[in-house]
Amino acid sequence: MKQQATSNKQLLTYLFSLLLSMCVLSSCEKDLYEDAFQNDNAKMIVKRMNKKDLEKFPLLQQKLNHIELFKNSVHNKIITDTVYNFAISTDEAVYIEEGDYHSFTFPINRKDSYGKLENLLVSKNKEGGYNTFLVQYDFSALKLKTITKEELKTHSTKFTYIDFDSNNLLNSKIGAFSVYMCSETWTGVEHEIYEGNYDGDAVDVEIIWTNTASTCSWVATTDGFFGSGGTTSSTSSGNGTGNTGGSTPNTGSSNIDIVGTLYTAPTPCTNCPDLNLMYADFLSELNNTQLSYLNANLDIKEQIKNYFNQPGASSAFALEALNNIINGGDSDFRNEVILHQSVKNNQKLKCVFDKLKGLSSTIFNDIINDNFASSKKAHIRFEIGNTPNGEDAVTLPFIGNPNDPTSAVYKVIINSNSINNLSNIEIALIYIHESIHAELLDRCFRLGLIRSISYQNGTPNIIFNDNPDISYNTSDTLFSALAIHYFHYDGGSEWNHNLFTILNYRTKMVQNLINIHPWLNSSNSDFVNNVNNDPYIVGGPYSLQQLMEYISWIGLEGTQEYNNTIFNNQNELSKKVYIQIAAKTKYTNNCN
């Protein structure tokens, strides 16, 4: 009995010891984990600094004063360097500290950055001074807002060493630049956001991405920042304790110790003048062929830049338009209209298009504004081809990303077999009529009315949502109700055309035709005179207003209003048929 009690006591002692050991181990493991986490956080200090903070670093201010020697203008807080050709926001920076090392990442804006986000890095060296680098990340400032750590791993960063202290700069003898590519480690660091000068409690928390770049390879270049040139490379690793010596480009060697390990944080320039994030993001996604074309055609580059200053600019349209130009077509960025090479090279189609533009440089925007009482949304591409059922022209939805309505481009095909026989006014009607077609389709798409679009023998089959989710407002609600009603009317084949008549688009289209008529009509063969002097005239005599009224019905046959107004009235039907033929045979066929 005593032996059993002793055994039980030993067992309890063992279990207690085991439990105590487990608790101690668990506690130690927890403490070890917390210490490691805290040490990792304490290893790197990252924070945003304003002008007041930056003034506490006199050597930094001395370095910035060297930069100011080369400025040609000051825009608020912006210094513009005339030698390296970039604007620097010197009143804000991201400060990174690790041990005895620290760096400052300043926002910059450089004209020839091709949309890539760039910064000026001021990095402490082992002498206690600073080395400066122009840093180019492989993504745009806009992309930075949504980029993930996994995505960052697929991008690379270029570091170009620049020496603001060199006498060569004063003489503008730049020579070549030294570009470094490094092994990169990205870390997301939480940073508290304060109102004002860090007084009071933090109002929010942001993630600042930091890039630790080490084991850097050097490549000498001969054509400026981030260009291609020399192929000699070397590697070095360090801890940010490089020396202050200058680089020796084009010699096949470099003072690699100048680099060491660099710490930077991608920082957009929010105060820089002439900075459009969408335009920069667009440029950053272009390939070498597209960038080379823009560099060789600065007028097109300027058009695209101006386009991104328009409300509602679309990167998808700009890319489609640019590729079309590269492939020999023409693109009108202000109207968001693309002319395929086939249309651009067709003298008559291009001439009528230019006449419309002569009426107004924003004619297609004006037409939509006039008909919809709101700005144009649809992106349109005109091209020559075969229409599904032999129509003179047809509008086909060319949808891009179904989750992004701005990526949609609507393809208007003009029948190649009809062009020679089309008169100027018929071609103008096609441009106007099909533009409104595209706008109606696009608005239904943007409103969520269209569930899917498929094609059968080249003809689009459009399926509407039964209960689309629409934010209430008078215009959208009316438009949505009409679209749904007319889609289901009589099988739905004329739902788009019915909208023309019900929403009074056709009446306004008449005025568009009257406005363009003087630009297309031949004084030697006046259309109104030709019709009214025809011995076989049906009805008449006609005014220009009346003629355009009947012409505007072309393409709207089969709609409810056409049936009520024209088809079911034999007298009106005879006039419409006659004038439709006259529009082809008595209106001038040549555009000059």
Q: What is the pLDDT of residues 401-431, one digit of tens each?
A: 666 666 788 899 999 999 999 999 999 999 9
Determine which of 229-233, 325-329, 386-390, 496-500 has the lowest per-residue pLDDT on average: 229-233
Instruction: Note the pLDDT of residue 177.
Output: 60
pTM: 0.67
Backbone φ and ψ of 378, nearest 5°:
-75, 140
Element (H or E) spanning 80, and its range? Answer: strand 78-81
Cα dihedral 237, 238, 240, 241, rounded to 10, equals -130
pLDDT-derived band at 173 (thresholds 50, 70, 90) equals very low
Tell me if 579 sits within 8 A of 550, measured CB to CB.
yes
The neighbouring-strand residues paired with 49 are 93
Contact yes or no for 256/232 (Cβ under 8 A): no
Task: Copy the structure tokens of residue 330.
Answer: 């023409």
235 has a pLDDT exceeding 70: no
The SS3 assignment for 288 reads helix
**pLDDT for 95 beyond 70:** yes
Which pLDDT belongs to residue 436?
A: 85
CA distance 441 to 266: 41
Mean pLDDT of 183-198: 73
Q: By C-alpha distance, which of 321, 310, 295, 367 is closest to 513? A: 367
Mean pLDDT for the stretch of residues 49-68: 83
pLDDT at 31 over 70: no
**DSSP H helical ranges for 285-384:** 288-296, 298-307, 315-326, 341-344, 347-359, 363-372
Give residue 220's identity as a one-letter amino acid code.
A
CA separation (Å) from 388 to 413, 437, 438?
10, 16, 17
Percentage helix, strand, coil for the chain under 3-state DSSP, each rounded to 5:
40, 25, 35
Contact status, residue 334 vs residue 307, Cβ threshold 8 Å:
yes
Please name the residue that has the structure tokens 């202290």.
165
Task: Assign 481 a pLDDT band (cuts: 50, 70, 90).
Answer: low
Q: How confident is the model at residue 588 (pLDDT cuts 50, 70, 90)?
A: very high
Check whether 153 has a pLDDT greater than 80: yes
Percentage of the chain lying above the pLDDT 90 cut = 35
**101 burial via Cβ count (<10 Å: 0-12, 13-18, 19+):** buried
Amino acid 68: pLDDT: 55
Q: Which of 33-37, 311-315, 436-440, 546-550 has the least mean pLDDT?
A: 33-37
Instruction: Give dist(CA 168, CA 269) in Å, integer.
Output: 28
Of 125-134, 473-482, 497-506, which range is least confident?
A: 473-482
pLDDT, average across residues 181-205? 71
Predicted confidence (pLDDT) at residue 299 exceeds the cutoff of 80: yes
**What does the pLDDT look like over 322-341, one tens digit per residue?**
999 999 999 999 889 999 99
- What is the reported pLDDT for 453? 76
CA distance 179 to 225: 8
Name the residue with higher pLDDT: 367 or 478: 367
**Average pLDDT of the chain?**
76
236: number of Cβ within 10 Å: 20
pLDDT for 239-268, tens place per residue? Answer: 333 332 333 333 333 444 455 789 999 998
Angle 87-91-95 from CA coordinates, rounded to 5°: 105
Q: Please tell me which of 79-83, 329-333, 469-473 the model is most confident about, judged by mean pLDDT.
A: 329-333
Confidence of residue 15 (pLDDT cuts 50, 70, 90): very low
User: In 3D, which of 556, 543, 544, 402 has the Cα closest to residue 465?
Assistant: 402
Q: Residue 293 above 90 pLDDT?
A: yes
CA distance 59 to 588: 77
Least confident of 225-239, 306-320, 468-482: 225-239
User: pLDDT at position 446, please?
Assistant: 76
User: pLDDT value at position 234?
Assistant: 32
pLDDT score of 319: 94
What integer pLDDT is reported at residue 23 of this predicted model? 39
Rounded (10°) CA dihedral 216, 217, 223, 224: 0
| Higher-scoring residue by pLDDT: 329, 162 | 329
CA quadruple 143, 148, 152, 153: dihedral positive or negative?
negative
User: Which pLDDT score, from 0 to 100, does residue 236 have?
Assistant: 29
Between strands 78-81 and 157-162, the pairing is: unpaired
